[in-house]
Amino acid sequence: MKRFLTLSALSFIILIGFSGIDKLFAQNYYITADTLYTMAGDPVIDGVVLVKNGKIERTGKASSIKKPKGYEELSAVVVTPGFIDAHSVVGLAGIYNQDADQDQLETSDPIQPELRAYDAYNAREDLVVFLRNLGITTVHTGHGPGALISGQTMIVKTTGETVDEAVIKPQHMVAMTLGSNLDSDFSKPGTRAKQVAMLRETFVKGQQHLQKTKDERKEKRDLKMEVIADLLEGKLSALVTVHKAQDIMTAIRLSEEFGFDLVLDGAAEAYTLLDEIKEAGVPVVVHPTMIRTYGDATHATLDNAAKLHKAGIPFYFQSGYEGYVPKTRVVTFEAAVAVANGLDRTAALKALTIQAAKFLGLAKSVGSLEKGKDADIVLYNGDPFEYTTNVEKVLINGKIVAEEGI
Amino acid sequence: MSLTMKHISVLLVLLLFSGLSALKAQTQAFTGAHIIPIDGEPIENGTLLIENGKISAIGTASEISVPDNANVTDLLGKVVMPGLVDSHSHIGNGSGGDRSSALHPEVRIYDAIDVRADAIKKARAGGITSVNVMPGSGHLMSGQTIYLKLRNANTVDEMLFVDDPTTEVFGGMKMANGTNSIRGTSGFPGTRAKSAAMVRELYLEAQQYRQQIIDADGDAEKMPKRDLRMEALVQVLNGQRIVHNHTHRHDDILTAIRLAKEFGYRMVLHHVSEGWKVAEEIAESGFPASIIVLDSPGGKMEAVDLMYKTGKVLEDAGVTVGYHTDDGITDSRVFLRSAAFGVRAGMSRKTALEAVTINNAKMMDIDDRTGTLTPGKDADFIVLSGDPLSVYTTIEQTWIEGNQVYDHTNPEHNKFMTGGMDVFRGDIVHTHHDH
């Protein structure tokens, strides 16, 4: 009997050794920081974050919180919550930039709201790993600009080996584009006025779809109209990529005519319409600060985010979409350059964390280091915004997912 | 009509007031700054003296006495360093060879530069004072590049480093290998091996042409017929014109080195995305490397392994390293960012700053004129609000040969940093992206 017990204990230990102890017992962490940005209050000097079973257990001053037994200690100069990219295409758009890994835009039809990001997201995409290594832990990604309605977006954590392991929200917004950035493959629309006419037609059809009885809708399902109906009923919002002032106003006009929730995406000329955007109550996922100044974004400025902030308009950062290089941008770098051009530094940090979490409806789980939230934590050897600072470790759901130090 | 005495006396007065100062220019003194001369250790409370557009003295306040009549600018709390040198850019709306051939040695971007282009103003805002403007990479040889000093100019000739463009060499030769120049269309290669073969054929022809010149030994009768293509390549073979070779993948880098060694021309390797894989080989070749820093890898197959660490690995191997903007691939306004990313990946600060100044100047044969704050060199410098490698630092002033070409407090200048309504006109942006 004794021998049997010993053997059992031995095999148990061996099993643990082979199967990965992390699956049986999540590692708990005691993370100290010279400066801890919880984003739930002022930065804590000599702060500490306790991570237990993948969640934030507690934060505070290191002097008042002792390291519990069995917790592994990590330390860094600066610690922040994982950053949130409020609009990307990574996972649909891949690193190679070849037809085979570019799924962010389908050009068979300019209006395809039925396309789900969920069906196209590659959780193992190198660009996703790249962003994760730089401390981007939550990404609002999906169909890109280039079609009137290019499809849906989703929200993922930059972890997991399958879409199901990565996904937080499989369906989040409907991606739309107005202006001159529509793909040239489309035979129509060919003008701005035609763009709007086609969209209005679609929304009118959506209204008619909603007038049908539930049974009628069930009997003859319409994937396109189901999404448009969700948009018109406020279950989904429209993420409309626009840069020029007249296109920004068109997006606002359409949202008011049909009563859908609008998010302005890009909005290079937003600084010319601060009063109008504020009055419309529309948030802005502002273009990457270092966007190239050509095409519709010719009049882009480095201080657009600063001006939106001063005007009291909610704004968030995006990596956006690039047809060539850099195949993905990094919101940390874009925010940093916005700060260098007049944006309040704390406002920039908030836009990357707690404000973005609220915007995406995720404030209960991410965006700040508060008790009970997911332990998505980034450790840096300096100011996160400085070019020369390295990301030393990244934790998602309490697990170390990056420690290369880039 | 004869000059009256009155006319003559007016002339004399005019000469006294305006002419004399031009005859002996006033000394300009910049005092109090933290000066990073690049050719030596940083100087606290440094003084920089300028005469006739040249640096006349540099040192600590106690070492340098400022002449009484000097025009003094107090730069206490500021950082001064040489004007940035960009070894690879596409500012100025120029273009090189067309689609009629893969090899255009006779085509000069000199003939296509718009000196009033937005991007040139952006570059001044970014602290860039000297730049190698190149035709694109869609050809094995897309044409002759041009080395520009970004003076306020009305004509491209006023921006050159040479006095006589009809007799002097004032640029390099742009070459490319890898996928950009493999188009498979008429006149273009379809493979890497064919790319190399086409380049070798051309240089063989140039070698023969050069030999004919040597054999003529000054006898005009025996000289070969003028050939614009061959003349430019003879300059390459003679070492007067440096080849600037776009190359990403490690084996393409080695191919570029192989061809340069075979024909004995001088070359700078450009982009070198996979340079970190063949650092020893690059070091052994002796060729310098001008690196592009992109925020993320990819965008095309041959740039998938692009890393921030390339500069550090090449530095460690002993390669002369530069960074470039490839504007509009990266933006001239944030050129210093590239050096900072080198440091992020472990490069020394010293090398990182050399990589945006003197090392690039060496790659363009202009290191006797610019790239360090050395007495005798052109007074090309920038004034910064702080550490050149910090994102929070503002480029406040850009000076070329003692003339201020950018002042961030002047809205007419600063708008080319910040952007705004109708500031940029949507200039041609070089993206290599073929639809």
Structural domain boundaries of chain A? Answer: 15-81+369-402, 83-359
Domain residue ranges of chain B, discontinuous segments joined by +: 84-370
- The angle that helices A345-352 and A331-340 make with each other, rounded to 10 degrees, is 160
Q: Under an 8 Å CB criterion, which residues of B touch A?
A: 118, 294-301, 303-304, 308, 328-329, 331, 333-334, 337, 340-341, 343-345, 389-394, 417-427, 429, 431-433, 435
Record the pTM: 0.93
Dist. CA A95–CA A80, nearest whole Å: 27
pLDDT (0 to 100) of residue A404: 78
Q: Quick one: pLDDT band at residue A216, thresholds 50, 70, 90?
A: very high
B422: closest CA of chain A, how far (Å): 6
Mean pLDDT calculated for residue range A235-261:
98
Only one residue has tokens 């609000």, namely B385
Fold observed for domain A15-81+369-402: Urease, subunit C; domain 1 (2.30.40)
Dist. CA A57–CA A71, nearest whole Å: 12
Mean pLDDT calculated for residue range B224-241:
98
- Find the DSSP H helices in A147-191: 163-166
B interface test, pick of A293, A304, A343 with most B CB neighbours within 10 Å? A293
- pLDDT of B404 above 60: yes
A interface test, pick of B295, B310, B396, B424 with most A CB neighbours within 10 Å? B295
pLDDT above 90 as % of chain A: 92
Contact status of A180 with chain B (Cβ, < 8 Å): no
* Number of residues assigned to chain A: 406
B interface test, pick of A88, A134, A248, A324 with most B CB neighbours within 10 Å? A324
Asked whether the beta carbons of A373 and A82 are under 8 A apart, the reply is no
| Residue of A97, A290, A385 with shortest CB distance to B331 | A290
What are B142-176's pLDDT values in tens digits?
Answer: 999 999 999 999 999 999 999 999 999 999 999 99
A385: closest CA of chain B, how far (Å): 7
> How do beta strands A173-177 and A399-402 pair?
unpaired
Mean pLDDT calculated for residue range A295-312:
97
- The angle that helices B118-125 and B411-418 make with each other, rounded to 10 degrees, is 100
A328: closest CA of chain B, how far (Å): 6
Dist. CA B421–CA B122, nearest whole Å: 15
- pLDDT of B24 above 80: no
Fold observed for domain B84-370: TIM Barrel (3.20.20)
Mean pLDDT calculated for residue range B323-338:
97
Residue of A nearest to B425 (CA): A298
- The yes or no reply on domain A83-359 and CATH 3.20.20.140 is yes
pLDDT above 90 as % of chain B: 90
Q: What is the dihedral sign for C-alpha B240, B246, B247, B252?
A: negative
Residue of B nearest to A339 (CA): B392
Asked whether the beta carbons of A280 and A262 are under 8 A apart, the reply is yes
Distant-in-sequence, close-in-space partners of A166: CB < 8 Å, separation ≥ 6: A91, A121, A123, A156, A157, A158, A159, A160
pLDDT above 70 as % of chain B: 93
Mean pLDDT calculated for residue range A352-366:
98
> How do beta strands A29-36 and A72-81 pair?
parallel
Contact assignment for B389 to A388 by CB distance below 8 Å? yes
Q: What is the SS3 string spanning A265-285?
A: EECCCHHHCHHHHHHHCCCEE
- The angle that helices A192-211 and A245-258 make with each other, rounded to 10 degrees, is 20
Q: Quick one: pLDDT band at residue B428, thresholds 50, 70, 90?
A: low
How does DSSP classify residue B165?
T
pLDDT (0 to 100) of residue B426: 73
| Residue of B296, B393, B420 with shortest CB distance to A127 | B296
B409: closest CA of chain A, how far (Å): 14
Of B424, B192, B183, residue with least CA distance to B327: B424
Burial of B13 (0-12, 13-18, 19+ CB in 10 A): exposed
* CB contacts, 8 Å: B345 with chain A: 406
**ipTM of this predicted complex?**
0.92
* CB contacts, 8 Å: B423 with chain A: 299
DSSP assignments along A95-129, one per residue: TT-SGGGB-S---S-SB-TT--GGGT--TT-HHHH
- pLDDT of A25 above 70: no
Of A306, A303, A276, A307, residue with least CA distance to A291: A303
Contact status of A100 with chain B (Cβ, < 8 Å): no
pLDDT (0 to 100) of residue B425: 86
> How do beta strands B84-89 and A377-380 pair?
unpaired
- pLDDT of B434 above 50: no
What are B90-140's pLDDT values in tens digits?
Answer: 999 999 999 999 999 999 999 999 999 999 999 999 999 999 999 999 999
Contact assignment for B432 to A324 by CB distance below 8 Å? yes
Mean pLDDT calculated for residue range B357-371:
98
pLDDT (0 to 100) of residue A2: 53
Q: Quick one: pLDDT band at residue A26, thresholds 50, 70, 90?
A: confident
- For residue B328, is the peptide bond before it cis, meaning its omega torsion is within 30 degrees of 0? yes
Contact assignment for B389 to A337 by CB distance below 8 Å? no
